[in-house]
Structures are given as structure tokens and as C-alpha cells.
């Protein structure tokens, strides 16, 4: 028996209308241990019939249950209880996440706190929520009537899966929506903690539903379901395009958090030691399987050679090893299919650029999805490894001579998720940040989130921004209600020959 099956039963089910159930057709799939690629657990494989059942449960809870109409304070209490329950299972969550996705246990340990914080944050927001009211003196009073949008379909990826799920579940539930979650098929284990967490926190029946399965079957059925009011999706840009098209016939609201190829631009006047630490962490933490990874480092020519040498030296010392080892800095990539994709980019990179660190399976780790921290230098902007998202522990370093060239390199890809700017010149920091085509910019720092700020990308990195009140706006309809206070001029159509209306139908003047 493996460590993870000590924490789980050996079979993961769906959770529909407060019942743990298998697929209607009994189908299952195997979940793989990334350190051996051996199947270690089976999971129910959802299809359209299971999605139908989950959407029906969510619709019933939305139309007839207490959740959408609860007072914000009451809902916030439940969200706080969810956060407490998440923290109670932090050790189990870290172990499951590390085992299932190959994330180093040290990095998996922070996931429960981040997930819990998402629930507390949105609980606070709904209690403090204000909506606009406008007065036209003596004539009209107009206000926004905020209403939960309905049944939310949430589709999530396999990198830090539990945290990603919480980032959608918290604002959806806070807004009063009911939900159907479809987690990534590579990593279903940690999502199986949600039903217990929600039950113990007092979430009413049917508000949360979970259907496991593949994107092309369960995910597709959720996207196309006529009773689902919105889709919040995080995943690859290519999948986003398919979902975008599939949402069109039923005109669903969509939020898309997609891939990235984010630049870190390091000017010669920066604190280069800090930039070195930060960009090493920025691309090699979370196994490099990180949407906001600084996977293209652009370095000003006078410091380029020194930077590349120091970066490669540090990368060679990064400890790759079993995810459960507390000293491991890079664990095992999530799945053999993904590993093969990353390894194919290494071969492409060897043709396109100068390999200065890594590029191979580490010695002594003969099975499982292990790869050394890999650094390519002198990468041309036309190279595929510069342009395409690799989503593994692989980084490109490219020199530049002027601010204009740095900007052209930074913006010269399809993606626009995050950017990192390193300089001690305040004016340049602002102007360069404003000119970068990225949804989020950090100056002299890696990705440190403030939950109040917008999160999302531009170009191929996404559509719509969540974060803070923007998330609540996405999961709510904002209806404008206009109340007449005084006379409203009405042009009288068809009134020729009539002096006044006198229909004798009642009303204030009758
Ligand atoms: P993916 O697109 O392969 O899958 C994501 C989810 O979509 C999975 O649950 C999958 O089952 C589902 N899916 C696949 N095809 C579908 C379809 N036709 N209809 C409905 N659902 C479908 O992505 P992935 O490989 O799981 O995740 C990695 C990607 O996610 C990377 O590109 C990464 O940059 C991106 N990502 C982005 C952010 C962000 O916030 N911008 C955060 C994390 C990950």
C-alpha cells in the first residue's frame, strides 16, 4: 500500500447532490504515481449523464435551496468554517498533493493556507460589498441589484490543483452560485477532500457537486450544458479556444485563465543578486509547472555573461528528487505524457540554443518523471523554446542592448500573462511596466499575490480578469433597477384627437 492510498480509499467517486457515486456507466480511469508511473488508484470517469445529474442537483439547490438568498453574513460564516476545515486537513492535503502531482512536499505544505485564505478573503468581501445607487433628484433613483448568476461550471488544471479549485470555488460560493467542479484528470486526489470539508462546514446539499473525468467527455458536457450559466476555466490556451467556441451556442459567461511565457527583464542597474534568487525561484518552484513562471529571462548585455554563468551554476545545484523528501526542490513532473512533451522541448532547445545547465534525467532517478533544472542561453526570439509554453523546469536566457529591444522581446510572443521588471530606476520601472503586454507586472519581485488586485492575462493568456471584486462581478448578474420619483416626459404615440387619457383603469390619478 502506498502513502497516498493510506490517505484515500483506493477509488475516487463523484459527489452529486450530497451523494458519493460512481459514473452512471460504471467507467473508471487509472491515476498514476508520477514517481513510478504506476497506476495507484482508480477514479470514476464522468460522462454526459453524470454531468446531467450534477447540474440538476446544482440547479435544484440554486432554484429552491437557501444558499443564493442567504444574508451575506450568514454565507460568510460558512465560508469561514470552510477555511477552518481546509486548514485542519493541511497535512493530509500536502501529502496527497505531493503524491498525486509530484510537487515537492515543502512546497505542497503552503497550499492549504493559500486555499483557506481564498475563502476568508471572499467572505470578507461579500460582507463589505457595496453596490452603486444613483439619484436624479426628484426624478429617479437607480440602483444595482446584484444576483448570483446561477449554476457555475468550474474546470481546473493539474498544477497546484486544490489551490486552483479554491480560487474558483470561493468567489462562486461567496456570490451565491451553486457549482459543478470538474478537476483535472491527472490529479483528482486532493479534490476528493472537498465533499467532507463542505459537509463539515455546513454547506447545504446540492450547492457543491464534483464530477471527475476527462476534458473531452465530462468537461465538454459541462461546457455545453444548457442549464449551466457560466464557465470558469483554467488551463491551456488551446483548450480555452475550444471551450470558447463551445460556450457560444448557449451564450455562457466565460472567464479564461490560460497559459503564459512570462518575461523577467533584468536591467544592469538592478540588484542582480536579488534578481538571480527571484528568477531561479520564479521558474523552478512548483516543478516549473507554473502559469506565471518567468520562463524567459531577458538580461541587459553588460551583466549578461556574469548572470548566465551564476544562474547556470545555481541551477546545477538545485536538488531534484522524490517529492516526499523535505530537501527536494524539484520533484517529479505530473504525468508521463507531460514529461514527454517537456523532454521534446529539451531536444528542440539543444538545436536552437546553448544548453548551460541540466537537460537530462538526473542520475540515480531511473524511473518517474524527473528532469534536471534546465537552462538555455543565447536563445533567439524566433526559437520555439522562446515562443512556446513548456510548463516544466526549463528557462531561456536572452541578451538585450536597449530598452526598446527589451520591450520588443518581452512583447514578442503570443502570451501576455505576467512580467517581472528588475531595475533601480523608478521612472523606467513605471514606463516599462505600462508598455509591457501582460495582465500582471511585478517590479523587483517574483509573483507575490495581493488577492485584491486583478488576476489574469491578455492576448493568448486569457479573457477576463478575476481577483477581488472582479471575481464577485463575474459570478453575479448586476441588474439595473430604475424607480420613477416624479413626472417622466412621455411622447404620446397615437394620441391625435385625444385630449387626455381617461381609461378609468385606476392608478394614482383615477
Ligand atoms: P488543459 O487545458 O489540458 O486542461 C485543463 C482542464 O480542462 C482539465 O480539467 C481538462 O480535463 C479540461 N479540458 C480539457 N479539454 C476540455 C474540453 N474540450 N472541454 C472542457 N474541458 C476540457 O490544461 P492543463 O494541462 O491541465 O494545465 C496546464 C495549463 O494551465 C498551462 O497552460 C498553464 O499555463 C495553465 N494555467 C493557467 C493558469 C492561469 O491562472 N492563467 C493557472 C494554472 C495553469
Written as one string, the DSSP assignment of 461-503 is TEES-BSTHHHHHHTEEEEEEEEE-S------TT-TT-SS---
Among the options 165, 185, 257, 466, which is catalytic? Answer: 257
Question: Which region holds residue 494: left if phi is over 0, alpha if psi is between -120 and 50, else beta?
Answer: left
Residue ID of nearest Cα to ligand 1 atom 1: 235
In whole angstroms, what is the distance from residue 365 CA to residue 357 CA? 18
The verdict on whether 257 is a catalytic residue reads yes
State whether 194 and 275 are in the same domain: no
| 53 lies in the same domain as 174 | yes
Is 317 found in the same domain as 412?
yes
Q: Does residue 491 lie within any of the structural domains?
A: no
Residue 509, pLDDT above cutoff 60? no
Confidence tier at 3 by pLDDT (50, 70, 90): low
- Residue 407 contacts residue 251 (beta carbons within 8 Å): no
Instruction: Tell me if 494 is assigned to some domain.
Output: no
Mean pLDDT, range 270-286, rounded to an integer: 98
Whole-number pLDDT of residue 1: 36
pLDDT surpassing 90 at residue 495: no
The per-residue pLDDT for range 445-476, each reduced to its tens digit, is 999 999 999 999 999 999 989 999 999 999 99
Same domain, residue pair 241 and 277: no
Contact 311, 321 (CB under 8 A): no
In a domain, 354, yes or no: yes
Domains contained in the chain, number = 2
Beta-ladder partners of 374: 394
What per-residue confidence (pLDDT) applies to 507? 58
Cα pseudo-dihedral 201, 22, 56, 213, rounded to 10 = 90
- Please work out whether the CB of residue 70 comes within 6 Å of at least one atom of ligand 1: no
Residue-number span of the structural domain to which 287 is assigned: 263-451
pLDDT at 128: 97
Do 381 and 468 have their domain in common?
Answer: no
Ligand 1, pocket-test mutation among 51, 118, 215, most atoms within 8 A of CB: 215
156 lines ligand 1 (CB under 6 A): yes
**Does 71 fall in a domain?**
yes
Looking at the DSSP bridge assignments, the partners of residue 300 are: 400
Please report whether residue 127 resides in a domain.
yes
pTM: 0.96
What is the percent of the chain with per-residue pLDDT over 70, rounded to a whole number?
96
Q: What is the pLDDT of residues 365-389, one digit of tens each?
A: 999 999 999 999 999 999 999 999 9
Res. 4: pLDDT tops 70:
no
User: 251 and 276: one domain?
Assistant: no
Ligand 1 contacts CB of residue 216 (under 6 A): yes
For the cut 90, the answer to whether the pLDDT of residue 407 exceeds it is yes
CATH number at residue 162: 3.40.605.10
Return d(Cα 51, Cα 56) in angstroms, integer: 8
Q: Is the CB of 61 under 6 A from ligand 1?
A: no
Mean pLDDT of the chain: 96
Q: Compute the distance from residue 305 Cα to the ligand 1 centre, in Å.
A: 36
Is 487 inside a domain boundary? no
Residues 222 and 281 in one domain: no
Residue 404, pLDDT > 50, answer yes
46 with 112, same domain: the answer is yes
Q: Per-residue confidence at 496, pLDDT binned at 50, 70, 90?
A: confident
Query: Which cell goes with 487?
Result: 413626472
Q: How far is the C-alpha of 157 from the C-alpha of 340, rounded, in Å?
A: 18
Same domain, 127 and 80: yes
Of the candidates 316, 371, 364, 315, which has an alpha carbon nearest to the alpha carbon of residue 347?
A: 371
For the cut 70, the answer to whether the pLDDT of residue 59 exceeds it is: yes
The CATH code of the domain that includes 414 is 3.40.309.10
Which of 45, 50, 157, when mutated, tests ligand 1's pocket best, judged by the most ligand atoms within 8 Å of its CB?
157
The dihedral of CA 116, 119, 125, 128: what is its sign?
Answer: negative
CB of 447 shorter than 6 A to ligand 1: no
Same domain, 321 and 188: no
Contact 369, 400 (CB under 8 A): no
Half-sphere exposure of 368 (CA within 13 A, CB side): 26
462 in ligand 1 pocket by Cβ < 6 Å?
yes
Task: Report phi then psi at 13, rounded to 5.
Answer: -110, 175
Which pLDDT band, with edges at 50, 70 and 90, does 6 fall under?
low
Domain-embedded: residue 479:
no
State which ligand 1 atom lies nearest to the alpha carbon of 214. 11
* Ligand 1 centroid, distance to 465 Cα (angstroms): 17
Atom 30 (ligand 1) nearest CA: 235
What does each C-alpha distance from 136 to 6, 145, 486, 487 come to in angstroms?
A: 65, 18, 10, 12
Picking from 400, 417, 451, the residue at the C-terminal end of a domain is: 451
Distance 163 CA to ligand 1 centre (A): 14
Nearest to 231 by CA among 208, 256, 196, 194: 256
321 within ligand 1 shell (Cβ under 6 A): no
| Nearest alpha carbon, ligand 1 atom 4 | 235
Q: Which atom of ligand 1 is nearest to the CA of 239?
A: 2
Which residues, 6+ apart, have CB-to-CB distance to 171 below 8 Å?
118, 122, 466, 471, 472, 474, 475
Instruction: Give pLDDT tens digits for 70-83.
Output: 999 999 999 999 99
Q: pLDDT band for position 353 (50/70/90)?
A: very high
pLDDT attached to residue 317:
98
- Structure confidence at residue 510 (pLDDT): 41
181 and 49 assigned to the same domain:
yes
- Is 90 exceeded by the pLDDT of residue 401? yes
Give tens-digit pLDDT for 411-445: 999 999 999 999 999 999 999 999 999 999 999 99
Confidence at 508, pLDDT banded by 50, 70, 90: low
Per-residue pLDDT band at 506 (split at 50, 70, 90): low
The answer as to whether 496 is a domain residue is no
Burial pattern 175-211, b for ≥16 Cβ within 10 A else e, equals bbbbbbbbbbbbbbbbbbbbbebbeebebebbbbbbb
Q: Does 295 share its domain with 217?
A: no
Q: Give 134 Cα–ligand 1 centroid separation in angstroms.
A: 41
Amino acid at each position: 500500500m502506498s502513502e497516498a492510498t493510506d490517505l484515500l480509499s483506493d477509488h475516487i467517486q463523484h459527489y452529486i447532490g450530497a451523494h458519493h457515486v460512481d459514473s452512471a456507466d460504471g467507467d473508471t480511469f487509472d491515476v498514476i504515481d508520477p514517481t513510478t508511473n504506476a497506476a495507484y488508484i482508480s477514479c470514476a470517469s464522468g460522462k454526459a449523464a453524470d454531468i446531467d445529474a450534477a447540474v440538476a442537483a446544482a440547479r435544484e439547490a440554486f432554484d429552491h435551496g437557501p444558499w443564493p438568498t442567504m444574508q451575506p453574513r450568514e454565507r460568510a460564516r460558512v465560508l469561514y468554517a470552510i477555511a477552518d476545515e481546509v486548514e485542519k486537513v493541511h497535512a493530509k492535503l500536502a501529502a496527497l498533493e505531493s503524491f498525486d502531482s509530484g510537487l515537492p512536499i515543502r512546497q505542497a505544505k503552503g497550499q492549504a493556507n493559500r486555499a483557506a485564505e481564498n475563502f476568508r478573503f471572499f467572505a470578507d468581501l461579500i460582507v463589505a460589498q457595496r453596490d452603486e445607487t444613483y439619484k436624479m433628484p426628484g426624478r429617479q433613483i437607480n440602483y444595482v441589484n446584484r444576483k448570483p448568476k446561477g449554476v457555475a461550471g468550474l474546470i481546473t488544471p493539474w498544477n497546484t490543483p486544490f489551490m486552483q479549485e479554491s480560487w474558483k470555488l470561493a468567489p462562486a460560493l461567496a456570490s451565491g452560485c451553486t457549482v459543478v467542479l470538474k478537476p483535472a484528470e491527472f490529479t483528482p486526489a486532493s479534490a476528493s477532500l472537498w465533499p467532507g470539508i463542505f459537509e463539515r462546514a455546513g454547506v447545504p446539499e446540492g450547492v457543491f457537486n464534483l464530477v471527475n473525468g476527462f476534458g473531452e467527455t465530462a468537461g465538454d458536457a459541462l461546457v455545453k450544458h444548457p442549464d449551466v450559466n457560466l464557465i470558469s476555466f483554467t488551463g491551456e490556451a488551446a483548450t480555452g479556444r475550444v471551450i470558447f467556441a463551445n460556450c457560444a451556442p448557449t451564450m455562457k459567461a466565460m472567464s479564461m485563465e490560460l497559459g503564459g511565457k512570462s518575461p523577467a527583464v533584468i536591467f544592469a542597474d538592478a540588484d542582480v543578486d536579488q534578481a538571480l534568487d527571484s528568477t531561479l525561484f520564479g521558474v523552478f518552484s512548483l516543478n516549473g509547472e507554473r502559469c506565471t513562471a518567468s520562463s524567459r529571462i531577458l538580461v541587459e548585455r553588460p551583466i549578461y555573461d556574469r548572470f548566465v554563468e551564476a544562474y547556470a551554476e545555481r541551477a546545477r545545484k538545485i536538488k531534484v528528487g522524490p517529492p516526499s523528501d523535505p530537501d527536494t526542490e524539484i520533484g517529479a513532473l505530473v504525468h508521463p505524457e507531460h514529461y514527454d512533451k517537456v523532454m521534446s522541448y529539451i531536444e528542440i532547445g539543444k538545436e536552437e540554443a546553448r544548453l548551460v545547465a541540466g537537460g537530462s534525467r538526473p542520475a540515480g532517478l531511473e524511473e518517474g518523471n524527473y528532469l534536471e533544472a534546465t537552462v538555455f542561453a543565447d536563445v533567439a526570439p524566433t526559437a520555439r523554446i522562446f515562443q512556446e509554453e513548456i510548463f516544466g523546469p526549463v528557462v531561456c536566457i536572452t541578451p538585450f542592448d536597449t530598452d526598446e529591444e527589451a520591450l520588443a522581446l518581452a512583447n514578442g510572443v503570443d502570451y501576455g500573462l505576467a512580467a517581472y521588471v528588475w531595475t533601480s530606476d523608478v521612472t523606467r520601472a513605471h514606463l516599462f511596466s505600462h508598455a509591457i503586454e501582460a495582465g500582471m507586472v511585478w517590479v523587483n519581485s517574483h509573483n507575490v499575490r495581493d488577492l485584491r488586485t486583478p488576476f489574469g492575462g491578455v492576448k493568448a493568456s486569457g479573457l477576463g480578469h478575476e481577483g477581488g471584486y472582479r471575481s464577485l462581478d463575474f459570478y453575479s448578474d448586476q441588474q439595473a433597477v430604475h424607480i420613477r420619483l416624479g413626472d417622466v416626459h412621455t411622447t404620446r404615440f397615437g394620441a391625435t384627437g385625444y385630449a387626455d387619457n381617461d381609461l378609468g383603469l385606476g392608478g394614482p390619478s383615477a
